Amino acid sequence: MSLIIAGGCVFNNCIDQDIDGMMARTKMRPLITGSISIKAALIYGTLLTVLGFFVIYFGTNLLTTIIAFVGFIFYVVVYSLFLKRKSTYGTIIGGVAGAVPPVVGYCAVTNQVDIGAILLFIILFTWQIPHFYAISIYRLEDFKTAGIPILPVQKSLYYTKVSMIVYIIAFSIAAVMPILFGYVGLIYFIVATILSFIWLAMGIQGLIKQVNDRIWAKKMFLYSVLMITILCLMMAVKI
């Protein structure tokens, strides 16, 4: 799956090269600096993607391959080519694509889409939306310059913060659900509850208190990365 993700990122860079040069966080990408040509990038992306699907198809099962393909199409075609520049719903589609890789790993082992796969998808999806909204607030000027219709640009910072809290609540509920089906142990449940509560408290603080939005958003982003990393590790600790 890593090869497919890498290939998707290369294609994304090819599609976005006109706007990447406008944003501080992407202006040093190889296609922008000229260290690699668009032709070479497309060939490289194609090789990575084809090799990735080859490994998944012959190393796992057909179901896993189909799910990986759907995720790839959602990211490269639906998100990158169409919705990213046209609608705030691009974030939602991006969240769908981003939640697929863990499900691919799960189905590679189980060869079925069961409640475990569904819960894993929901956890990663509801985590990704506030995670990206935090990035969009932190890098708001970049997105404005590039003309990308993200939520804080199309609506408002307040609306975006409220939306983040809604998704964090949904994430908090989803994150503790695996214990009900025996997928995780008590330690995971306790850690997930505490980490979710902290994230929610940080979100509410940014909504009701006077804060520097950019600093607050950066903290929300960094915490979200740390939190999901810990949760993924704790899923393996079935105690």
Burial of 44 by CB count in 10 Å (0-12 exposed, 13-18 middle, 19+ buried)?
A: middle
pTM for this model (two decimals): 0.92
pLDDT at 46 (0 to 100): 96
Domain positions in the chain are: 1-112, 114-239
pLDDT at 239 (0 to 100): 58
DSSP state of 236: T
Average the pLDDT over 116-141 and give the result. Answer: 95
Average pLDDT, the chain: 93
Average the pLDDT over 117-122 and give the result. Answer: 96
Structure tokens at 96: 């769908």
Q: How far is residue 78's CA from residue 94's CA, in Å, rounded to a whole number?
A: 9
pLDDT at 187 (0 to 100): 92
Output Rg (C-alpha) for the chain, integer angstroms: 19
| pLDDT tens-digit map of 54-113 | 999 999 999 999 999 999 999 999 999 889 988 888 899 999 999 999 999 999 999 999
Contacts 24+ apart (CB under 8 A), 84-89: 84/16, 84/148, 85/19, 85/147, 85/148, 85/149, 86/149, 87/149, 88/149, 88/150, 88/151, 88/154, 88/155
With a cut of 90, say whether residue 27 has pLDDT above it.
no
pLDDT at 132 (0 to 100): 95
With a cut of 90, say whether residue 21 has pLDDT above it.
no
With a cut of 90, say whether residue 28 has pLDDT above it.
no
| pLDDT tens-digit map of 200-225 | 999 999 999 889 999 999 999 999 99
Predicted confidence band at 146 (pLDDT cuts at 50, 70, 90)? confident
